[in-house]
């Protein structure tokens, strides 16, 4: 009798999961943005419904329910702030006719102005970035706004929190957002409790807030942004933790790039923070801007935030534009190089029109699936003449793109499905020959420490290598 009941329960469970797999597969076909992603989900949902169904409903969504409506509310609430920002940066904004083609194309997506009069400084690796961040906080006189994907409860995290506590006790507004998935250990740490008890206003981004979002973990705030007094900001690849300074013995050396920006472009970054704060905290941030000098000198900068609430894949379109604009040179560095077919085609076309196209990825990627996917896309790029380099001295985490002799992009967005469609990212695009030369020299040093991949690297591989590449390629849209 008990066996019969158990058999009935098992049969019912199989039937339920099979039906849920079919329903989920139909939903994936209807809503997944790419055919490749839809096919990947359909295969796993119909083949392994017991595992794939809950995974799909946690990770498979491509629209951030709630934030879509919230974005409209944010933009409405920020109208007065946006006007104040516009008034503040207008003397430093650039007329549309004077913009380079890339800025002119991306401006409608960026929702901010292109500004001049900016001082931009490269911060190469963790020591320089951490020192610059602490110095900026120590010098704050009005407010401190930070958002980070990862904050660790370690010595580096403690140094940051201690600096923030000092400013909070001086009476400055100190607002911090952390991603509750990326910073899941920090969310339960004594360091967070200490920060809260000493007046630091620190909150999770709350991607799981709301009934529709309770079980979804797919959307992440991947930004790394610090804004100080509306006069100085930092953004780039570095989170807050000892591994980003190369101090984690399990990971080893860490290669990354950050930016420090002073000038009117900082106001655009504060508006981005205000929108994130509105969602995370549920309150309007009262921004107060000091009108910057009217200097028309300095570097031309476009701040480009992107997020999954847009009807466009903003980060993907940004990279498409950079690729299509290249005439002599296109150098790309990314730790996660898992592009879609359109990006691959654009890179191939760039080579065919005579562009020096180079892609640098880490030799020790983050996980075996990412590693196999990287090899798969490398194999497709080589025949067209794209040069692929694998950086070996440590884990390379920088997200830097250099176009020709005057345009570069540095920020938080990777060349993968997650950054294109699912993550909150921010990128600074700089149009300046002097700064582009600095970036060129930095990347030349990286290329000198990297191994160029050739067709021979695919020969004499074990029998499982090609099937593993194919499998990783198949599932790359959901990595």
pLDDT tens-digit map of 414-428: 998 888 888 899 999
Average pLDDT over residues 60-84: 58
Two tokens at 302? 């476009």
Let me know if 222 is a catalytic residue: yes
Q: 298, 117 in Cβ contact below 8 A?
A: yes
For residue range 112-136, what is the model confidence (pLDDT) as tens digits?
788 888 999 999 999 999 999 999 9
Let me know if 397 is a catalytic residue: yes
CA distance 169 to 189: 21
Q: Which pLDDT does position 23 carry in this prediction? A: 67
Bridging pattern class, strands 356-362 and 224-228: unpaired
CA distance 156 to 352: 46
- 474 versus 101: the higher-pLDDT residue is 101
- What H or E segment, with its residue span, contains residue 40? helix 35-47
Q: Which of 15-19, 49-53, 377-381, 425-429 holds the top average pLDDT? A: 425-429
Q: Which pLDDT does position 219 carry in this prediction? A: 77
CA distance 223 to 416: 15
Question: Which entry of 222, 238, 299, 421 is annotated as an active-site residue?
Answer: 222
Q: Is the pLDDT of residue 197 over 80?
A: yes
The residues, ordered by sequence, that sit 6+ positions from 188 with a Cβ below 8 Å of its Cβ are: none
- What H or E segment, with its residue span, contains residue 412? none
CA distance 168 to 63: 36
CA proximity to 143, closest of 203, 228, 226, 224: 228
CA distance 151 to 267: 24
Rounded to an integer, what is the distance from CA 297 to the centroid of its chain?
Answer: 30
Mean pLDDT of the chain: 83
Q: 329, 302 in Cβ contact below 8 A?
A: no
Let me know if 297 is a catalytic residue: no
Q: Which pLDDT does position 113 carry in this prediction? A: 82
Q: Which pLDDT does position 341 carry in this prediction? A: 84
CA distance 280 to 68: 14
CA distance 394 to 250: 11
Average pLDDT over residues 452-461: 81
Q: Is the pLDDT of residue 386 over 60?
A: yes
CA distance 463 to 70: 51
Q: Which pLDDT does position 117 carry in this prediction? A: 85
Q: Is the pLDDT of residue 158 over 70?
A: yes
- What H or E segment, with its residue span, contains residue 264? none
Rounded to an integer, what is the distance from CA 382 to the centroid of its chain?
Answer: 26
* Least confident residue range of 131-140, 202-211, 259-268, 275-284: 202-211
Q: Is the pLDDT of residue 58 over 70?
A: no
Q: Is the pLDDT of residue 92 over 60?
A: no
Rounded to an integer, what is the distance from CA 67 to the centroid of its chain?
Answer: 18
Q: Which pLDDT does position 62 carry in this prediction? A: 57
Read off the pLDDT band of 262 (50, 70, 90): very high
Q: What single-letter DSSP state applies at residue 421?
A: I
- 6 versus 452: the higher-pLDDT residue is 452
Read off the pLDDT band of 387 (50, 70, 90): very high
- Reported for 468-473, long-range contacts at CB under 8 A and 24+ positions apart, including other chains, are 468/372, 469/372, 469/373, 469/375, 469/376, 469/379, 470/376, 471/372, 472/369, 472/370, 472/371, 472/372, 472/373, 472/375, 472/376, 473/372, 473/373, 473/376, 473/377
Q: Which pLDDT does position 63 carry in this prediction? A: 57
Read off the pLDDT band of 285 (50, 70, 90): confident
DSSP state string for 182-198: TTTTGGGSHHHHHHHHT
CA distance 336 to 476: 11
Q: Is the pLDDT of residue 292 over 80?
A: no
Find tokens 């692929």 and name the residue.
388
CA proximity to 130, closest of 283, 44, 289, 241: 241
The residues, ordered by sequence, that sit 6+ positions from 313 with a Cβ below 8 Å of its Cβ are: 33, 420, 421
Q: Is the pLDDT of residue 146 over 60?
A: yes
- 71 versus 260: the higher-pLDDT residue is 260
Rounded to an integer, what is the distance from CA 103 to the centroid of its chain?
Answer: 20
- 475 versus 286: the higher-pLDDT residue is 286
Read off the pLDDT band of 267 (50, 70, 90): confident
Q: Which of 151-160, 204-213, 261-270 holds the top average pLDDT? A: 151-160
Let me know if 224 is a catalytic residue: yes
- 65 versus 423: the higher-pLDDT residue is 423
Let me know if 143 is a catalytic residue: no
Two tokens at 58? 């946690």
Q: What percent of the chain shows pLDDT beyond 90?
A: 49
CA distance 342 to 420: 12
Global confidence as pTM: 0.84
Read off the pLDDT band of 234 (50, 70, 90): very high
Question: Which entry of 397, 416, 432, 446 is annotated as an active-site residue?
Answer: 397
Q: Which pLDDT does position 144 carry in this prediction? A: 97
Strands (E), 308-433: 329-333, 337-338, 356-362, 387-391, 395-396, 400-403, 407-411, 415-416, 423-431
Burial of 65 (0-12, 13-18, 19+ CB in 10 A): middle
Q: Which pLDDT does position 154 carry in this prediction? A: 95
Q: Hey, which residues does 260 pair with through a beta bridge? A: 121, 234
* Least confident residue range of 42-51, 145-154, 198-207: 42-51
CA proximity to 103, closest of 281, 318, 401: 318
Secondary structure class of 286 (helix, strand, coil): coil
Q: Is the pLDDT of residue 81 over 90?
A: no
- 392 versus 21: the higher-pLDDT residue is 392
Let me know if 167 is a catalytic residue: no
Q: Which pLDDT does position 422 carry in this prediction? A: 83
Read off the pLDDT band of 176 (50, 70, 90): very high
CA distance 369 to 468: 8
Question: Which entry of 143, 167, 258, 399 is annotated as an active-site residue?
Answer: 399
- 12 versus 423: the higher-pLDDT residue is 423
Q: Which pLDDT does position 479 carry in this prediction? A: 56
Q: Is the pLDDT of residue 347 over 60?
A: yes
CA distance 38 to 52: 13
The CA radius of gyration of the chain, in Å to the nearest whole number, is: 23
Q: Which pLDDT does position 171 carry in this prediction? A: 95
Question: Which entry of 143, 167, 175, 224 is annotated as an active-site residue?
Answer: 224
CA proximity to 446, closest of 332, 351, 367: 332
Q: 229, 140 in Cβ contact below 8 A?
A: yes
Q: Is the pLDDT of residue 270 over 60?
A: yes
């Amino acid at each position: 009798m008990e066996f019969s009941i158990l058999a009935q329960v098992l049969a019912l469970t199989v039937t339920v999961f099979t039906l849920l797999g079919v329903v989920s597969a139909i939903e994936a076909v209807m809503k997944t943005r790419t055919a490749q992603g839809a096919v990947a989900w359909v295969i796993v949902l119909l083949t392994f419904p017991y595992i794939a169904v809950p995974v799909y409903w946690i990770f498979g969504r491509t629209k951030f329910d709630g934030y879509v409506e919230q974005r409209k509310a944010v933009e409405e609430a920020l109208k007065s702030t946006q006007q104040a920002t516009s008034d503040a940066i207008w003397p430093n904004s650039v007329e549309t006719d004077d913009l380079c083609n890339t800025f002119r194309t991306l401006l409608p997506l960026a929702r901010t102005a292109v500004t001049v009069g900016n001082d931009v400084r490269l911060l190469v690796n963790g020591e320089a970035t951490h020192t610059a961040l602490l110095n900026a906080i120590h010098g704050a006189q009005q407010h401190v706004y930070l958002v980070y994907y990862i904050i660790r409860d370690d010595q580096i995290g403690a140094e940051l929190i201690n600096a923030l506590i000092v400013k909070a006790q001086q009476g400055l507004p100190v607002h911090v957002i952390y991603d509750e998935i990326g910073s899941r250990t920090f969310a339960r740490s004594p360091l967070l409790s200490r920060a809260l008890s000493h007046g630091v206003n620190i909150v999770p981004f709350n991607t799981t807030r709301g009934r529709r979002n309770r079980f979804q973990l797919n959307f992440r705030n991947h930004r790394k942004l610090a804004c100080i007094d509306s006069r100085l900001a930092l953004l780039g690849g570095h989170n807050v933790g000892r591994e980003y300074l190369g101090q984690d013995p399990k990971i080893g050396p860490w290669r990354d790039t950050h930016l420090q920006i002073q000038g009117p472009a900082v106001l655009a970054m504060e508006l981005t923070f205000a929108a994130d704060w509105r969602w995370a905290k549920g309150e309007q941030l009262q921004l107060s801007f000091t009108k910057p000098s009217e200097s028309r000198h300095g570097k031309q900068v476009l701040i480009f935030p992107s997020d999954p609430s847009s009807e466009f894949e903003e980060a993907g379109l940004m990279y498409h534009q950079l690729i299509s604009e290249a005439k002599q040179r296109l150098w790309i560095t990314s730790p996660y190089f898992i592009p879609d077919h359109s990006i691959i085609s654009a890179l191939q076309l760039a080579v065919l029109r005579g562009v020096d196209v180079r892609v640098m990825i880490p030799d020790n990627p983050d996980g075996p699936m990412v590693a196999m996917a990287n090899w798969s896309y490398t194999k497709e790029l080589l025949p067209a003449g794209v040069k692929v380099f694998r950086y070996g001295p440590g884990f390379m985490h920088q997200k830097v793109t250099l176009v020709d002799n005057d345009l570069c992009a540095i920020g938080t967005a990777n060349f993968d499905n997650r950054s294109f469609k699912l993550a909150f990212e921010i990128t600074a695009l700089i149009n300046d020959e002097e700064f582009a030369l600095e970036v060129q020299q930095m990347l030349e040093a990286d290329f000198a420490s990297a191994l160029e991949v050739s067709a021979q690297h695919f020969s004499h591989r074990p029998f499982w290598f090609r099937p593993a590449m194919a499998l990783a390629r198949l599932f790359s849209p959901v990595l």
